Structures are given as structure tokens and as C-alpha cells.
A and B are shown apart, each in its own frame.
Chain A
């Protein structure tokens, strides 16, 4: 039996607040948050993430955020690059269009979680996906919700992922 090619899948985690959240969250929220997490999936030597501009890709660490604050090993996958790009294209047309972006409900971490499950069957760490509900469970978060809801995050430095060959 042939041994399949296994490609490593990593999760790049960035703290958008650059440490401010860890310092200020006890005061402002009343609870300790370690960071405002932005994540992306790195596989096949490319980084893929979701923002208000849709699904984007770039060389690993190639957004303006620079290198990640931490890297989580998600596992390995047999999914080839070709299949993966097809998958991303159809995701980008259905579930993860740019206009579907919402900071609380449908953000970069939602995307990373989805892709991680597709590639390896595993989810990303819960402290990342629980962040919106952590914030919203504070009076501060509730009060500022309309404000925060309108925020759109798109780390620059990526190219939009489109259909590989123009076919639909």
C-alpha cells in the first residue's frame, strides 16, 4: 500500500492588540484576556486567512502583522494543494465571501476553524474561538457591541484566492 503524502498544517496566531489586551482587559472588561486573536492556516507553504476582503493568501508570515505570536500544530493532511484550492474557492463563493465578515460571529477564526477541520478533522484551540463570547459576556462588550460590530479587519499583504482556472 502506498504511503500517502502528508502535509503539515499549522495555525498561526497573532495578537492584534500587541499586548495591550493583556494589560488593559482587567480594567476595561473586568476579566483577563490574553489577546485579541487573529489566526490563519498555513499549509502547502502558504498562509490562508479570512478578512473583510474575503479569503486571502500570502507567504507564511507575509501580512503586515509580521511573524505570528504563536504557532499551533494542527496536524497533518493528505489533501493536496489542488484539492485544497478548489475547496477554498468554493468556500469563498459560498460561506466566506468578503461581505459575510463579522467581527463577532464570522471572522478569521471561524474560517481557520473550518479549514482546520476540513484538513485534519481537528478544531483550533477553544481560547481563540471563545473570544467573542468572552467579550460579549461583559457589560463593556455589550455596551460597545454596535461599535465593534462594524469593524472590519483585513490584514494587508495577501492576495485574494480565486478560482484556479476560471471555470465555475
Chain B
């Protein structure tokens, strides 16, 4: 398809001239280039010497847009109109990327009216982190795009009315759903400014530096704001709060908020929290904390991932959100100007506590947030979550003293974690204890403080990852299976065995590790030691686990209780040794007896 070259008015680049003699427009190679646009791609047959401008003409006809909306990118270079395709080395089969800009130039909207939100002082651009939101134009003031966004949004008319009617929940819901408000709340820089410049907030921050810590910790704030945008979460909080306390004070009307300028979410929260008194706050905090603990516990429990379709929001996610909404709630309480003085220190304390808990849950369940689909049953903790909450030995209280106790206990546990660090064998041993439900509960309850208060190594972060623990559990189970199926292969996995406590480690203080003599012929079930078989056993076990997530591996003591009784009746008094033997032989009493006899022979 020959192209007729026309002289372009622009200056030709230093490369090949664009105005070729007319007799050259025939018999040029036709090449096939792939034009890739987000979502689709198309082949185009053009001649080598096509200019970019002509190519754009063709593309604009095909994609039904104007030429100045087209941006062509090849090997990272923007193709200018006056270039020739071959100049860039575009040959047959190459891919050119195309971006079709939106119709209105994005800059033009930035000059929109300043008339919106005139009551608010005009904030300086504080985009210190660059364009972190990824939404706003880089050069414009951060405030302006919000206005522009507001002006552009079809629902913007609601926001234009300065009197935000937050009296009724439906209006509040509407405000929350308003995308412009979502946009506003998603701009963390702006929100930080708004929050920190509010006089009450400044007062709060003076009284307790923890609050400013929240605000400065951008990640926390970002997540808080994400949750603030989620209307469902706020509704949940409001419901919980109402059920937890007797609301004696009527809900505030907007007038009482004194011209609160932060729209939507904070208002909705603030209005529900009328005049606060200690009791109200305490009771609500306590009920929250119960829920927080269920959240943490649930977040830390070894969970089986089902292959069921994910449905939002997963309970873990939801509880974590509740947890963080606690922080929003308390910080927004600081925003609304109605707190009594006595309430403030408590509230601030609660904020810091909640922040702590929020951080810990963050550290715990978000090391690498792997969202589990909903409806995941707990395989280890068999009690109801509510009971766990009550049984939690690690309970937060509103008194400062317990905070200190907690801190010292966490220091102790911190040093313990250091110990674990140094002795990785011991750490692995602890993980095997994780499979015992009674100990694991307590251990997991301690986990939040550990993670937040101590210096963690990567390994411990991995340990805290429930998926990692799940994997380790599977390994343990797999090795158990292996011992049953093909014990001759056990020395092959010896490094992992001593990590799991089956074989003695060089420098361990593991109480019951006796030098097991893996005299293989003695073990009853010696099947052919084939690698397939071994991996098959492991796989079968894992497959069964994967398919049947309700399969709860019980603690060895429970599983082997009958065998234990038998052994004790026979005269083997050492309870621990019995248990170890039974674990090693997967419940085979006679094999265990042989093991114990051998041991006693030493």
C-alpha cells in the first residue's frame, strides 16, 4: 500500500529527511507492526517509510479518536509526528505501544474554580512523597485537584452545598458514597493537614504524642482513611458502640459540631459519639477489645486456605478493619469538639492503645497480606471465638498500670524472642508446639506485643506469617507420615528432623530428646523405600489436608491417649518418652515399645 509523501511544514530531524523524491514511494517494503493498546492489540500493515504523523492518521481513523489524543511509544521512546518509523528501527513484527489520552486535556481541569470549599484555608502543596496517591497531577497544588475532581464529579452538587446534612444516617450514607468524598479521604496529605490543623486535634496531640505518631505514620493513616471511607465499617462501629453502652446523650446535630469542615466520614462518626464520659468510653473500648482480640486471634490462627470462591469481606479482613476503625473512631473523637476533659486522657490513651494494637495486627497479619477466602474454619482453635476473647490472658485495660506491666512483660518476651533468634532450633521446636492447641492459644495471644515491641528479624516475621506456620505444620505432618511409610528415608531429611525435635540437635536443651537409634529394620512397616512412595505419602497427606480443611490434627497426646495408657500399663513410666516413641511410630504401640526398650537398655 504505497503512501504518498507530503512535505511537512515542520523541521526535519537530523536523521533521514522526510521529503523524499516522489519516485521513491513505490516498491517500499511493507511491514507488519503490532500496535498494542491497553487491553488489545492489532496488526497494521504499513510501509517502512511511513511517517509517524501518517501512521497516527491511520490509527485515529481506526480507533475513532483525534490525532492529538494518540501517544505512540516504541522502546520507551515517544514517537514524534515528524519522525519516520524506520528511523527508530521499527521493523517487521515489532510492537508499538499506543496510549489514547482522554478527550479533555487533564491540565485544563486543574484550572477549575476556586470557589469550592472556600471556607477551608488554602493549603500549600505538601506532596513531599511525590505523587503517592497516583491520582493527582504532579505539578498542581494538591488541594486544587480535589476541587477539580469535585467539580467534575456528577454528584458534586451535593458537596457544593456547604451545609452537610449529617443528621440522618441516609444522608451520611450518601455522603460517604459520594466519590468525591472518597477521593478527598484518599488524599492522605490533605487529610493529615486537615486533621492536624484542627485546634482540638492539636490540643490532643500536645497531651499525648502518640496521636501525632499516628498521623505521622503514613501507612497507618492511609489504612485508617481507607477504612473511614468504608461506610459499612463505620456502621458496624456505630452498632457495636450502641449495643455496648447506654447512650444517654442524644446524637449531636450538625450545629453542635461547630462548623466541622471535614465532611462525611468524620462527621458521621463524630455525631454518634455525643458527649463522652469515661464510662461510655471504657465500656465501648472494652467491648471493642474483646472483638479486637478475636480479630487478632483469628488473624494469627493457623488457617487452612479453602479453594472456595472468595467473598468480600473476609472475616479476618473485616475484623482487622474493625480494629483499625477503632483508631479512626478515637481520632475522630478528637476532631469533634465535644469531649470532656476527663475523657480526653483516657481517650488519648485508648487511641494509643488501639494504635498499638492496630500496629501489631498489622505486623501480624499483614506481613504479606494473603487474604483468605471467607468462611475459613480454624483448624487448631476449636473453641468459639467469643470464648477466646474472654479467656484471653492478654487483656488490655484502661489503667496505665497494666500498660506498664504489659510493657515489661513484653520486654521479657522480647528477650525471649532474641533467644529464639539465636537458637533457631528452639524456634522450630516452638513451632511444633504450635500444633498443640492449648499452648498455641496462649502463645498467639502473646504474639501481638512481641511483634510490635521487639526487634524482629526476617525469620520471625516469617514465623508470624500464618501461612509459613501452616507450611511448617505440614512438614511436621509429612515427616510423621514418612516415618510410617518409609522410615529408611528419614536420615535423608535429618536436618529438618532435628529442627522438629525428632533427632537430637548438637547444642540443644530439648528435654526429652534421647538419642534415637534409627535402626531401620526394627520398625514394623518397612515398605519399599521408593522416592515416589515418600513423596506420594507427603502429597497424600497434603492433599487430604487441602481437600478436607475440617480435618483437625489433634495433639499427639489426645491421639495416642489409648496407646499411652497401654504403655503405662506395661510399665513404661516415662510419659514423655512414651509420647515421643508414639509420635515417631505414628501410634504403633508395638514399634513404640521396641523403641522404648532400646532406650531403656542404655
Report the Cα distance A87→B129, complex, angstroms.
22
Chain B residue, CB-CB nearest to A56: B134
Q: Which of chain B's residues 116-157 have a Cβ closer than 8 Å to chain A?
A: 129-138, 145, 148-149, 152-153
Query: Which of B51-59, B205-213, B366-374 lies at the binding interface?
Result: B366-374
Chain B residues whose C-beta falls within 8 Å of the C-beta of A162 in the assembled complex: 134-135
Q: How many A residues have CB within 8 A of the partner chain?
A: 73
Given A20-B468, A64-B219, A167 and B103 contact (CB-CB distance below 8 Å): yes
Report the Cα distance A152→B496, complex, angstroms.
29
Report the Cα distance A168→B104, complex, angstroms.
9
Chain B residues whose C-beta falls within 8 Å of the C-beta of A76 in the assembled complex: 76
In the complex the two chains form, is A78's CB within 8 Å of B99's CB? Answer: no
Chain B residues whose C-beta falls within 8 Å of the C-beta of A18 in the assembled complex: 458-459, 461-462
Report the Cα distance A19→B460, complex, angstroms.
12
Please tell me if B561 contacts chain A, counting CB pairs below 8 Å. Answer: no
Query: Which of B304-312, B430-438, B519-527, B552-560 lies at the binding interface?
Result: B304-312
In the complex the two chains form, is A52's CB within 8 Å of B371's CB? Answer: yes
The residue from B99, B129, B149, B471 contacting A83, defined by CB atoms under 8 A apart: B99
Chain A residues whose C-beta falls within 8 Å of the C-beta of B101 in the assembled complex: 83, 86
Query: Which of B325-333, B412-420, B535-543 lies at the binding interface?
Result: B535-543
Please tell me if B91 contacts chain A, counting CB pairs below 8 Å. Answer: no
Chain B residue, CB-CB nearest to A103: B370
Bitwise interface map of B from 477 to 504 toward A, beta carbon under 8 Å scored 1, else 0:
0000000000000000100100000000
Please tell me if B39 contacts chain A, counting CB pairs below 8 Å. Answer: yes
Bitwise interface map of A from 77 to 91 toward B, beta carbon under 8 Å scored 1, else 0:
111111101111011
In the complex the two chains form, is A139's CB within 8 Å of B369's CB? Answer: no
Chain B residues whose C-beta falls within 8 Å of the C-beta of A44 in the assembled complex: 130-131, 138
Given A94-B39, A151-B370, A168-B102, A156 and B73 contact (CB-CB distance below 8 Å): no
Chain B residues whose C-beta falls within 8 Å of the C-beta of A87 in the assembled complex: 38, 97, 99
A32–chain B nearest beta-carbon distance, Å = 15
In the complex the two chains form, is A140's CB within 8 Å of B71's CB? Answer: no
In the complex the two chains form, is A165's CB within 8 Å of B471's CB? Answer: no
Report the Cα distance A129→B107, complex, angstroms.
37
Q: How many B residues have CB within 8 A of the partner chain?
A: 73
In the complex the two chains form, is A64's CB within 8 Å of B362's CB? Answer: yes
Bitwise interface map of B from 32 to 50 toward A, beta carbon under 8 Å scored 1, else 0:
0000111110000000000
Most chain B beta carbons < 10 A, residue from A28, A119, A168: A28
In the complex the two chains form, is A159's CB within 8 Å of B222's CB? Answer: yes
In the complex the two chains form, is A57's CB within 8 Å of B305's CB? Answer: no
Please tell me if A46 contacts chain B, counting CB pairs below 8 Å. Answer: yes
Please tell me if B100 contacts chain A, counting CB pairs below 8 Å. Answer: yes
The residue from B134, B186, B366, B475 contacting A24, defined by CB atoms under 8 A apart: B475
20 extra interface residue pairs, beta carbon distance < 8 Å, beyond A28-B471, A90-B99, A164-B137: A4-B77, A46-B134, A48-B134, A62-B132, A64-B219, A77-B77, A79-B78, A82-B138, A86-B106, A87-B97, A90-B37, A94-B39, A95-B38, A117-B95, A118-B36, A120-B75, A140-B542, A150-B310, A159-B188, A166-B149
